Structure 1
Amino acid sequence: MISAASATPALAQYAGGVSGSIEVASDERRRGLSWSEGDPVVRGTISAPIADGLSLDATAVTLWGSDRHGNADAVIDVGPTFVRQVGGWRLSGEARYRLFPGAAGQGYGELGAGAGFLIGPASIDLFASYAPSQSAIGGDNLYLSASAIAGVPGSPFTLSARIGRSSGQVTDPLRAARLRPDGTYWDYGFGVDYLKERWTAGLRFADSGIAGPGSRHAGPSLIGRLALGF
């Protein structure tokens, strides 16, 4: 999901104690693909500081028997995140392992690194995620993205936009179609969020360049969300 709350690492969450959120959304869409096949989801996140700039993070999302992920009932992402401010740059790195309860042989790992900076009221972030070759995803997977987030001055609204590109080598076409159903492709989205104390409500439009048989649950979609932070 693209949102003011989740599109970029937030330094503030590492300055205090354990933080998290609970969210309901009309879809779980990642990199232009619906992981929940267009069904509503419940998402929970938690972040626990370990050291200065380092935290252990976990996210769990209901998938309701997703065909894309071997009829998995949920996805759980867990791993460390490191964030450091260097001059005007916000640098980050992370490692994630994705578990899929209710499905066998679907788990895989991924590494990520990013850099962000401010331009006036906007935060610009560049990010790269790489999943080394694994049997569960039929090869390797590289995802490059750029995103921007800006608060509307004098209002509780935040605007966001992003674009990403998926690519990689294929060793098993059937398994590779799980994350890249049309081979190399682009996805994009933009959204608006309303923030009120611990509550966030938002709308996001998402689409991809995927065409043909792989376009199922990859076309244009308007996604709503409501989240409570703690």
Structure 2
Amino acid sequence: MIRRVQLAGVLGAASCGLITPAFAQDAGSVTLEVMSEEERRGLSWSEGRAALAGDIRVSRGRLDASARVVTLRNSVRHGGADAVVDLSVGTDWDLGAVRIRTDATGHAFAGARGRMDYVEAGVSASYAYGPLYATVGVIGAPSQRAIGGSNVYAYANANAGIPGTPLTMLAEVGHSSGSVRDPSRAQRLRPGGSYTNWRLGLEHRRDRLTIGVDYIGTEVSRTATASRFADQRNAGDRIVGRVQVSF
């Protein structure tokens, strides 16, 4: 686990080294969240059950680092893990009107049976136009035993505030693909093989409080032959709610 987290830090530091960070005052934030389930890329990481999360983020100039801890409720997808710790480092900079971001993340699973930890890195481009903020990006995980091969997630998302209201609309579509070395473990991140996911959401933001609800769906088949890591019953269309407080 330590080796993979160190690798994530090295990848992030390497990408950050290409950019000379601006000297700015240190900043930080803490976020606490409760949600009806921990969902990522249309898949439940907490077996469709409620989860708790805590984030801490610090930044200096363009360089930032974060740690997120989420309860997983003995997740079948992640070898019975009780929680996941996501450690990330990244940077962003402006290229004209477009904001480019690169980052690397190590995922460490507490209480899992066997080696479940893995690392990935991503790059994205964002553009704001009036109340609309849109992003396209790709996140790649090199071939690793824990995920049965490699994984590539390409996505596009957008959010826009509704004029005259405290509401924000959100939408996202993504596609997961990659190579397969171990068909059983590859279904952790791609149950049934490559698939597309989507999200439509609505958020109410007021001061430090955010309340959100999302409709989430995937094209993952519940009838296809699956491994013990797939958890296909928690990969279909559903509604997810969340409440977040930031400090």
- Take 1:184 and 1:48, find their aligned partners in 2: how far apart are those partners? 35
- Take 1:15 and 1:159, find their aligned partners in 2: how far apart are those partners? 32
Which one of the candidate residues 92, 102, 113 is aligned to 1:93? 102
Distance verdict in 2 for CA 1:147–1:87, change over 3 Å: same
Deviation at 1:85, TM superposition (A): 2.0
- Take 1:157 and 1:71, find their aligned partners in 2: how far apart are those partners? 37
Which residue pairs with 1:224 in the alignment? 241
Q: Deviations over 1:102-153 (max 9, x none)?
A: 0130000000110000133101100100000000000000000000000011
Which residue pairs with 1:200 in the alignment? 210
Q: Which amino acid aligns with 1:155?
A: T
Kindly report which structure 2 residues correspond to 1:131-210, keeping only aligned pairs within 5 A, or say none.
Answer: 131-210=141-220
Q: CA RMSD in A?
A: 1.2
Q: Which amino acid aligns with 2:167?
A: F
Distance verdict in 2 for CA 1:15–1:33, change over 3 Å: farther
Which one of the candidate residues 117, 133, 138 is aligned to 2:127? 117
Q: Deviations over 1:65-101 (max 9, x none)?
A: 0011000001111020211122210110100000000
Which residue pairs with 2:20 in the alignment? none
Which residue pairs with 1:70 in the alignment? 79
Which residue pairs with 1:128 in the alignment? 138
- Aligned residue pair count: 216
Which residue pairs with 2:9 in the alignment? none
Which residue pairs with 2:55 in the alignment? 45
> Is 2:26–2:61's contact at 8 Å kept on the other side of the alignment?
no
Q: Which amino acid aligns with 1:31?
A: R
Consecutive unaligned residues in structure 2, runs of 5 or more: 1-23, 227-231
Give yes or no for the alignment of 1:58 onto 2:75.
no
- Take 1:58 and 1:15, find their aligned partners in 2: how far apart are those partners? 20
Distance verdict in 2 for CA 1:195–1:15, change over 3 Å: farther
User: Percent of pairs identical after alignment?
Assistant: 40
Deviation at 1:16, TM superposition (A): 5.5
Which residue pairs with 2:13 in the alignment? none
Corresponding residue SS for 1:175: helix
Deviation at 1:48, TM superposition (A): 0.9
- Take 2:160 and 2:141, find their aligned partners in 1: how far apart are those partners? 30
> Is 2:195–2:219's contact at 8 Å kept on the other side of the alignment?
yes
After the TM superposition, list the runs of 4 or more consecutive aligned residues in structure 1 that deviate by more than 4 angstroms.
Answer: none
- Take 2:62 and 2:166, find their aligned partners in 1: how far apart are those partners? 28
Q: Deviations over 1:9-28 (max 9, x none)?
A: xxxxx975211200000011
The two structures have a TM-score, normalised by structure 1, of 0.91
Q: Which amino acid aligns with 1:223?
A: V
Corresponding residue SS for 2:55: strand
Consecutive unaligned residues in structure 1, runs of 5 or more: 1-13
